[in-house]
Structure 1
């Protein structure tokens, strides 16, 4: 009889399955039942069933988590999933884990019996395979998985030759290399199979070691350490030839001298692979390989702080608004340096740049830079941020895209720059605007720009700004706004200061102007 364990958090359903299905008539017997995945792990360890029937949604540990845990631990049993939800996304996830059946609740007895017959056929087929020459390969994969993935008990490790044993894997040293395909999820199984097949042929031909797959990695266990950059570069080149167009990341976890430490090399290789986004070129990444990030600008705080990000958004917006293209790339590199200093991972950095770009684009759109017909283009660009696999390339693409939002024209001398400066003042008069800010954006010294401004307008910068503010204040007062509201709207934080400025330029107070 084929042993079955039922896992479901509904006692009535567990009892119903045990009593309503004629198990023995189709060659099965229910060995035990459990209320959640964690409880099932203990039972499965004791009973060693060949089939597990599990609910997809349970407290503590659900069905998919249970299957993932058992697969990672090297168990080769058959799985049937039960679900009260006709959810295709769950079904896809279940299929990825090699689930035989996906049945909706309430369970139809006929469908269950048909699925059990299918499972029995698979089990019998597997038993026939174990008698064939391919059995050795299956055993080796299982053993490799147990070496690479820590067991359930933290202190428990697999000794060389223990359990199913593989004496031919008793080497003097070991080094794990992981290869991660950078492909859409739907294409991942095919990419893993192609890479694994090519690497197995290479490993057998060169007597390099062993190859297995632990999604999303192809794992190459080397029997000789990769000493020196030349050997690492050569191996990377061979992997690239095998990949034949498949984009991938490859990383090593370093050498270990005992089989019980192989999982340490595997863990380090996985962590190194995560740094590929920050690397500067294609290469075999290493555990101590530092991410390539721009230099951290001086004066940035040590602790995590969102204020620098808000400041960067404003500075980038101002640069784009006045047409200073040269400052865009340095400011984007400054943002990247902040994220790197905070030791953020790839997903965080992409999300941060998404929000940074979104904030700038919204500001540009508010200034009528973005037309309605460009919405689809913006959406495509923002979503594309998550598809990048190199930080440097992401920064360059962001720079190019943002520059599309400013007028592309050749420099027309100081007249054009001056016109931009005047337009800028009229748009941003209500902000804390300073001549030094404009000087920095236009790459002029503050004294020089001040002199240029006076020559063109006949006014000092602050006088011109005050007159723009007072003119706007007169319009708002005429609309009936209160004096203190107008002062705030036009950029004066002090009402008394606003009074004095207004009286200076208009010869009467704001109140008198409002109520003549």
Structure 2
């Protein structure tokens, strides 16, 4: 994940120079906006939403120190780096009390700027990871609170009881239950339960992404899951698709049941208990997985008509899949495709000291993470990969070497898929980039952000675009914007500043300079000449 930067300086050339430096180095940052002074920066905060601000100390209207003070009071989550001259250094030091992370003494060597930005990105990344962990921890606490309400257990400390009311009221309560992990026609064994459960979790989460109506699901008791849906949504369609997909991929059947509209946390408990007393066990024939497995369950009890056993499985950690998925995505976004396979091989082989159940679980985690990235990032489907069949292959493996070979096969498939995708994408890079410029030229549309959209390293993207078009990306974008500005100058009475903004320039002075470089005349003179010839 890249961080966003706003550059604040009253000199356009300084802003341009910093932007070019950031775009031409892999520092983890994208320039999301610019401003000529502190007040302008504040006005743009809601639009740009920067993770980091680089600000000059001396500017008209509102200087860097005042901006740092404002950010400390109103947006303390945004980091600030101050640019200062030698004679202002002691003055700039006052900004320490406003949480300023670093000072850069002008003139700043490129190496110093890169070093500071890399350090800032490390802090940003650590902070983002911490926030994500906090978000997941909150979700787990909320799930426990909902479960406590359903089962009439003592509430957990931390204020989740009040939150539970907000989560449940006004939603339609659906219930589902696992019947067996040992369906006819499949050679599953009781110890395969954890792998099957985790496979179902991923199927469910894929379907949830496409369903804006689903608010929350939890494991109530082993094999029983509660879903809370928005009243206006098409519940039947969602659960039909869920049952069909799990049956098709795993050979496991599911049945679901609606218990009605929830009016309170106590109401949902009564609904659940009433169903437990009235409904025969045969009402459920749904075989799936505890949906929150890996987040809460330490032990799996596989129960059904043919077996009732308890297994101590290898831990399949949902968080681990998300972590690996994020790592793979990061390699793609930074254009480091060539390094990805080696990274994944090393990551897996480092865990081979684990027990065989854990080794199988780790292999499935890695394979599912690869599958998710290919599906989400490059829209690649793996129709030939049947999860149920692959799980059966894994469960029959008795050595770590066999599991390792299976993982290498999944990595090889990923390599082939990426290679085909890269070849097709790169062959049409100029076409796709030009189309993107046509749709976004009026916005921040710099080299790094567009290269990120194309999943390429900025330097590689820039070279490939020039090779295919004979023109640099920056030159093409400037010319395209100036052509749009000519049309506005010719056919409208808009102010120069309004035209500048309309074609993607936040600074009208910089726009005028760029216009003159391309047309050999300033925009005001161009307009006058056109009016004279009209």
- TM-score for the superposition, normalised by structure 2: 0.28
Length-normalised TM-score, structure 1: 0.28
